[in-house]
Structure formats: structure tokens, C-alpha cells
Amino acid sequence: MESNDKQSKSKLFHTMTFGCQMNINDSERLAGQLRTIGYESTDNVEQADLILINTCCVRESAEKKIHGRIGEMKRLKLVNPNLIIGVVGCMAQKDKDKILKKFSHVNLVMGTHNIHQLAELVEKIEQSRERVLAVWDQAERLAPDVPTVRKGQISAWVPIMYGCNNFCTYCIVPYVRGRERSRPLNDIVAEVRQLGADGFKEITLLGQNVNSYGKDNESQADFADLLQAIDQIDTITRIRYMTSHPRDMNDKVIETIMRSQKICEHFHLPVQAGSDYILERMNRGYNTEYYRQLVSKIREAIPGASLTTDIIVGFPGETEENFLETLEFVKSIRYDAAYTFLYSQRSGTPAAKYADQVSLPVKKARLQQLMAVQNEISLEINRQYVGKTVEVLVEGPSKNDERKLMGRTRTNKIVLWEKTGQEVAGGLVNIQIDTAQTWILKGRLI
Ligand code: 5AD
Ligand code: SF4
């Protein structure tokens, strides 16, 4: 009887996701496949029959954290020898042999191009108890779509393209995610329609470089065409996208956003550095003058648009003077927010071999300086919201305080307010802003 009982109970899986939104969406597609073979998700790692660690390798700090986490799983394996542990995604793609060798308790190592094979591979391990390595060097032109189980119910990630062709000299992504492959426009539109029918209100179109959508296939539809097609879907209230490459952000896209009611007035344009010398060495394909003009054009076309960026400090060869150029650049552009990173040497990338690496203490000091400058600007910009009323899409309870609700403005500012009971998740509400902080706004329902 007891064994029957065990059989009818569904098996449990737990995922740990590191890295970018693309990884979060990959984890949703891993979950979707596991459901088809009888697994349910659990938040409690101790109860899981299957643990998947979806990895990132964009910086060393992420890798260190992940190595620690994989190591910790050994303890659970000792308690439950039948536990299946999988290491998947970017780091698995890059370091498959190292992971197999270092972590004997890992059953599955699966790369970025094999995500759609998960169900099949897990069943193989369940039957044979062998260790499985599934890491293709290259992607199939387009991996088959698999079912997705999404975490949220309001906001959904939708991949529009995979891979990257840019080869910025610091970046590992093109090596672990392969060449650019765009999904067919009709598939994306069908997925977004379905999401709308399921009650989702906000869609974020995902790709390493969304502005080069469509360049790899003959369909002729480009990113602006795709935005226009998604804009027609009535059930969706807000459209976002990430990440844009400044070099490829063109007038047609800006005009499309200007005309659209749904595409949010938020531009995330990673500049990476504010020094022409460093931009050249990064192989970014633009200079500061081009970038300034792009920002002016956007601000003229769409007044009130917010602007965020990514910046790397301590790229090889970055002198004090180059860094000061970046600081001045940041001050003059006045970003709403900047995601700032210490340069991390990624072996296999050109910049890792550059002779003039910057020392860690110098990198850290520059990061502090940059963050201090940017935080002040972010706060100044956010203070301009005080007293104003903004439209907010209600996402749900605040993580830290059940009595508060959380949502975002169209400009992607996080807003918190006291719950009144009138709000519905997925609805739009007007919030009057009372206080501003560096990363959040607080207000009350009007
Ligand atoms: N070191 C530090 N930051 C990096 N990024 C990408 N590669 C590296 C690296 N080697 C940053 C870039 C990118 C963001 C997602 O991560 O700023 O835009
Ligand atoms: Fe990396 Fe550059 Fe591609 Fe972005 S555009 S994923 S930074 S290579």
C-alpha cells in the first residue's frame, strides 16, 4: 500500500536560477517540461526529488556563488541518494567537464542549447541512474518550443531571439549562447495572444540584442514590425523589451514606441563606458557622441521617458582619466538608474588576454565612486515624482510588507503604497507619490 501511495504522489522539483531574465524564462521552460513528466514545483529544497541549478557565467562573482551552491547540495544527496541534481544553462555550457569532475554528486549537466531536452534526459536518469552530459556546441537553428510554467500571473517574459553576434571583447555570452536566432513573428504573436487570454497584462520581449531581431531570417520582419504586431493585441496593457544595443536602436523603433499606447517609455541602453578609447577596446560599435545624439533623439521624441544603463568599471586599460570621462558622461546624461559592475576577466574572451588589467582595489574604488554619483542623480530624478500622480500596474503584495502593494510606473519605477482593498492585481491604479528613494517611490492610492 505504502509504495502505491508513494507512486501516486507527484514528484517534486526545486529550481535555483542565477543571472538574467533570459535565465528566469529558461527556468520557466524547464518547469513546463517537468510538469509533463509528473513533477510539481516546491519552494522547499529539502523536499525535492530533483534540483536544478540554472547557472550564469557572465561574471566570476556569479560563478563563485554557484559553485558554493552546487557544493551545498551534496549534503542533501547523502540524505536522499535518489535525489537528482542537475546543473544547467550558461556555466554548464562553458565548464561541462570541470563541473562533472569537481562535483561527483551532480547527475545532469545540460547546456543552453539542450534546454528543450530536459524531460527526456530526466526520464533517462530516473531509469538508468547514470550521469548524463548534454551539451551541444551549437544550437539547432531554432530549438522547438516547450511548455512554460510561469511564476507570475501579471507580467510575462517572452523570448524573441536567442544568442548574440556582437562579441563585445569582455563578454562570454556569445560563446555560451551561440549566434543570433530569431523566433518567427507568428510564433511570438501567438504566444502573446495566449498570455493575454490567460490574463497576463504586461509582456517583456527578451533577447540579448532585441534591436537585431529578424536580421538572421528571411521573414523581413524587424524589431519595429514585431513591436507593431504585439501592440495590436488588445488584452495586453503594457509592452517592455530588453536588452537594446545602442548601436542598433534606430528611428523606426523610436517612432513605433512614440506612436504606441502600450510600449512603455523606458529605455535601457547599456553604454558600458563613457570613454571613446574604452568603447573602442570593448568593440561596442559606437562612440560617446553617437550615444549622446541617440539619447537626445529619444528625449525629444518621447519627453518623460526614463533611461537606464549598464556600466563596467575597470575594463583593461581604463586609466584614471578614462574613468573620469565615464563619471562625467554619467553626470551629463543623467540616467534614472545604472547597473554597475566590476570588470570580470572571462577566459576565452579577447579582453581577458589584454595585458593592462586593472587591479581589484582600483576597480572597487571606482565602482564606489560611480555608484555614489549615480545614486544622487537617481534620487534627484525620483524626487521630481513627489506630489505627482502616476499610473501603476498592480503586481501584488510588497515582498517586505504584506500590508503594502507593489507595482511599476510605465517608466519602470517601483512604487509601494498602503493596500486599500480596492486594487486588483493586473489592474491600473493612480498613485500619488509622497516620498522618493534611490530605487523606489512611495505613495497612496487616489
Ligand atoms: N565583467 C563585468 N560585467 C560584464 N557584463 C558583461 N560581461 C561582463 C564582464 N566580463 C555586464 C555588461 C552587460 C551586463 C548584463 O553585464 O554591463 O550589459
Ligand atoms: Fe555580451 Fe555585447 Fe552580446 Fe550584450 S551585446 S550579450 S554585452 S556580447
272 lines ligand 1 (CB under 6 A): yes
- The predicted model scores a pTM of 0.94
Q: Is residue 59 part of a domain?
A: yes
- The answer on 237 and 367 residing in a single domain is yes
What are the angstrom distances between the C-alpha of 400 and each of 21, 43, 138, 403, 416?
22, 18, 42, 9, 11
Predicted pLDDT at 6: 45
- The answer on 293 and 339 residing in a single domain is yes
Predicted pLDDT at 4: 43
CA-proximal residue: ligand 2, atom 2 (nearest):
168
58 lines ligand 1 (CB under 6 A): yes
- The answer on 323 and 344 residing in a single domain is yes
25 lines ligand 1 (CB under 6 A): no
Which residue, 383, 399, 417, sits at the end of a domain? 383
Quote the ligand 1 centre to 171 CA distance (angstroms). Answer: 6
Q: Measuring CA to CA, which residue among 254, 347, 236, 361 is closest to residue 301?
A: 254
202 Cβ contact partners less than 8 Å away, ≥ 6 residues apart: 154, 155, 156, 236, 237, 238, 239, 240, 393
Residue 426 CB neighbour total at 10 angstroms: 19
Which residue, 351, 383, 415, sits at the end of a domain? 383
Enclosing domain of residue 48? 2-134
Q: Is residue 141 part of a domain?
A: no
What are the angstrom distances between the C-alpha of 330 and each of 33, 240, 248, 275, 373?
44, 24, 21, 11, 8
Q: Is residue 150 part of a domain?
A: no
Question: 396: which strand partners?
Answer: 406
Pocket probe for ligand 2: among 166, 268, 349, the residue whose CB has the most ligand atoms within 8 Å is 166
Q: Is residue 50 part of a domain?
A: yes
- The answer on 179 and 50 residing in a single domain is no
- The answer on 211 and 189 residing in a single domain is yes
Predicted pLDDT at 1: 39
Pocket probe for ligand 1: among 18, 23, 57, 58, the residue whose CB has the most ligand atoms within 8 Å is 58
Atom of ligand 2 nearest to the CA of 208: 6
How far apart (Å, rounded) are the C-alpha atoms in residues 189 and 234? 12
- The answer on 305 and 371 residing in a single domain is yes
> Alpha carbon 280 to chain centroid distance?
25
Predicted pLDDT at 143: 77
- The answer on 394 and 376 residing in a single domain is no
Q: Is residue 143 part of a domain?
A: no
Per-residue pLDDT of the chain (446 residues; tens, 9 = 90+): 344 444 557 899 999 999 999 999 999 999 999 999 999 999 999 999 999 999 999 999 999 999 999 999 999 999 999 999 999 999 999 999 999 999 999 999 999 999 999 999 999 999 999 999 999 998 887 778 888 999 889 999 999 999 999 999 999 999 999 999 999 999 999 999 999 999 999 999 999 999 999 999 776 899 999 999 999 999 999 999 999 999 999 999 999 999 999 999 999 999 999 999 999 999 999 999 999 999 999 999 999 999 999 999 999 999 999 999 999 999 999 999 999 999 999 999 999 999 999 999 999 999 999 999 999 999 999 999 999 999 999 999 999 998 999 999 999 999 999 999 999 999 999 999 999 999 999 999 99
- The answer on 367 and 395 residing in a single domain is no
**DSSP sequence for 234-302:** TT--EEEEE---GGG--HHHHHHHHH-SSB-SEEE---B-S-HHHHHHHT-S--HHHHHHHHHHHHHHS
CA-proximal residue: ligand 2, atom 4 (nearest):
208
How far apart (Å, rounded) are the C-alpha atoms in residues 45 and 17? 13
How far apart (Å, rounded) are the C-alpha atoms in residues 325 and 269? 18
203 Cβ contact partners less than 8 Å away, ≥ 6 residues apart: 155, 156, 158, 192, 195, 230, 236, 238, 239, 240
368 Cβ contact partners less than 8 Å away, ≥ 6 residues apart: none
How far apart (Å, rounded) are the C-alpha atoms in residues 226 and 229? 5
End-to-end CA distance of the chain: 59
Quote the ligand 1 centre to 429 CA distance (angstroms). Answer: 35
Pocket probe for ligand 2: among 56, 90, 165, 168, the residue whose CB has the most ligand atoms within 8 Å is 168
- The answer on 318 and 394 residing in a single domain is no
Pocket probe for ligand 1: among 64, 90, 171, the residue whose CB has the most ligand atoms within 8 Å is 171
Ligand 2: list residues with CB < 6 Å: 164, 166-168, 171, 173-174, 208-209, 245
CA-proximal residue: ligand 1, atom 12 (nearest):
310
341 lines ligand 1 (CB under 6 A): yes
Which residue, 343, 364, 383, sits at the end of a domain? 383
Q: Measuring CA to CA, which residue among 149, 232, 240 is closest to residue 202?
A: 240
Exposed, middle or buried: residue 85 (CB in 10 Å: 0-12, 13-18, 19+)? buried
- Do residues 177 and 25 lie in contact, with contact meaning Cβ atoms separated by under 8 Å? no
- The answer on 19 and 117 residing in a single domain is yes
Sequence-ordered strand ranges (E) for 116-226: 132-134, 155-159, 161-162, 181-182, 202-206
Q: Is residue 144 part of a domain?
A: no
How far apart (Å, rounded) are the C-alpha atoms in residues 294 and 321? 24
362 Cβ contact partners less than 8 Å away, ≥ 6 residues apart: 314
How large is the C-alpha radius of gyration of the chain?
A: 23
- The answer on 332 and 193 residing in a single domain is yes
Signed CA dihedral, 88, 90, 96, 100: sign only: negative
Quote the ligand 1 centre to 69 CA distance (angstroms). Answer: 22
Q: Measuring CA to CA, which residue among 208, 246, 203, 245 is closest to residue 226?
A: 203
Q: What is the overall mean pLDDT for the chain?
A: 95
Predicted pLDDT at 274: 98
Quote the ligand 1 centre to 168 CA distance (angstroms). Answer: 9
- Do residues 211 and 205 lie in contact, with contact meaning Cβ atoms separated by under 8 Å? no
How far apart (Å, rounded) are the C-alpha atoms in residues 432 and 422? 15
Look up the CATH number of the domain holding residue 394: 2.40.50.140
Q: Where are the alpha helices (DSSP H) in 10-102?
A: 21-36, 60-79, 90-94, 96-102
> Alpha carbon 256 to chain centroid distance?
23
What are the angstrom distances between the C-alpha of 215 and each of 83, 159, 161, 183?
43, 16, 10, 11
Predicted pLDDT at 10: 86
Tally of domains within the chain: 3
- Do residues 269 and 249 lie in contact, with contact meaning Cβ atoms separated by under 8 Å? yes
How far apart (Å, rounded) are the C-alpha atoms in residues 392 and 426? 10
Q: Is residue 325 part of a domain?
A: yes
Look up the CATH number of the domain holding residue 179: 3.80.30.20
pLDDT tens readout for residues 216-252 = 977 689 999 999 999 999 999 999 999 999 999 999 9
Predicted pLDDT at 9: 72
Quote the ligand 1 centre to 399 CA distance (angstroms). Answer: 27
Atom of ligand 2 nearest to the CA of 272: 7
Look up the CATH number of the domain holding residue 99: 3.40.50.12160
- The answer on 319 and 394 residing in a single domain is no
Q: Measuring CA to CA, which residue among 343, 389, 387, 333 is closest to residue 366?
A: 343
